[in-house]
Amino acid sequence: MFIFKTHTELSAWLLTQKALHKTIGFVPTMGALHSGHIALVLQSRKENDITLVSIFVNPKQFNNPIDFEKYPMTADADIATLQQAGCDAVYMPQVEDIYPPHLPHVNLELGMLNQVLEGPKRPGHFDGVVQVVHRFFSLIHPNKVYLGLKDFQQCKVIQALTQQYFSSIQLVFCPTEREANGLAKSSRNMRLSKEAKHTASAIYHILQTIAAKYKKENLSDVLAASKLFLQTKNITVEYLECANSDTLALTTQWQEPGHNVVLLAGYLENVRLIDNIQF
């Protein structure tokens, strides 16, 4: 497995791969890899000649400096895991390699996508995502990019970016990998105690319960009762909302089958957890 620290080395290698007409699957990550990330790598391996993973903790997408400082870094273990998963190359740049001086700021009108849920709760977050993903896509020009639906709103933002600037790149949205108890796998779970990992299973449990009540009960009532239930588990709900899964417009009315998404952000032991369910 090749390990590239600079975009110059990476670009030289990509040039040779493209000259050989190899298709490139790309998996962007912030490291501290778990089986959710590896599922994306394996999907890419199935569908492309070459799989490239990036590991870069993007400072621009952290609205909370403490969250950035505490973000787990496990580079050596990540490299070993990727090697075992059959990844072809990993790009692990420094901040200066991604954001050299005078790199123009990318403007993308996100509209609704930045006005709900994570948008107002994490000001500047999606702008940071747009900057880093634009930079990666410009350097790599992959054929396909693998993204996790755990970050549903992020998938929509990257879709908007791709439609505007990179129409030849195909995005592949992959299902959320979970612990046996339903907790969505996340690098941040490392910061949870054993008890909290157990308690956190209430999140997916309640999302499934909401989906099971589809059109049988009033949506507003279901959401209100669900928030109360999570409170009893000491999970501080930041938001629990239903949205139209195409537009992300929040709604208190059930949508047509296949167009509902219920999204949650909450804190447990000061760790911010997000999850969602589509139905």
- Confirm or reject binding of residue 260 to ligand AMP (CB under 6 A): no
Q: Which is nearer to ligand AMP, 171 or 225 (CB)?
A: 171
Specify the stretch interacting with ligand AMP by CB under 6 A; choose among 98-106, 132-140, 163-171, 182-190: 182-190
- Confirm or reject binding of residue 241 to ligand AMP (CB under 6 A): no
Cα separation, 235 vs 232, whole angstroms: 7
How far is Cα of residue 219 from the mean position of the Cα atoms in its chain?
A: 27
Say how many residues make up the chain. Answer: 279
**Which structure tokens are listed for 183?**
């907790």
Site string for ligand AMP, 194-233 (x = CB under 6 A): ----------------------------------------
- Residue 47 near residue 144 (C-beta atoms within 8 A): yes
- Confirm or reject binding of residue 156 to ligand AMP (CB under 6 A): no
Contacts 24+ apart (CB under 8 A), 79-83: 79/1, 79/3, 81/33, 81/38, 82/1, 82/33, 82/41, 82/53, 83/1
Q: Which of 14, 30, 85, 161 binds ligand AMP (CB under 6 A)?
A: 30
- Confirm or reject binding of residue 40 to ligand AMP (CB under 6 A): yes
All residues at 6 or more sequence positions from 255 whose CB lies less than 8 Å from its CB, including other chains:
242, 244, 245
Q: Which of 42, 82, 90, 184 binds ligand AMP (CB under 6 A)?
A: 184
197 CB-contact burial (10 Å; exposed 0-12 / middle 13-18 / buried 19+): middle
How far is Cα of residue 125 from the mean position of the Cα atoms in its chain?
A: 12
- From the list 7, 21, 34, 37, the catalytic residue is 37
Is 37 noted as a catalytic residue in this protein?
A: yes
- Confirm or reject binding of residue 82 to ligand AMP (CB under 6 A): no
- Residue 51 near residue 87 (C-beta atoms within 8 A): yes
Specify the stretch interacting with ligand AMP by CB under 6 A; choose among 6-14, 173-181, 214-222, 245-253: 173-181
Q: Which is nearer to ligand AMP, 147 or 160 (CB)?
A: 147
Q: Which of 36, 93, 142, 266 binds ligand AMP (CB under 6 A)?
A: 36
Q: Which of 43, 54, 143, 187 binds ligand AMP (CB under 6 A)?
A: 187
Q: Smallest Cα–Cα separation from 226: which of 266, 170, 278? A: 266
Task: Enumerate binding residues for ligand AMP (CB under 6 A).
Answer: 29-30, 36-37, 39-40, 147-148, 150-151, 174, 176-177, 184-187
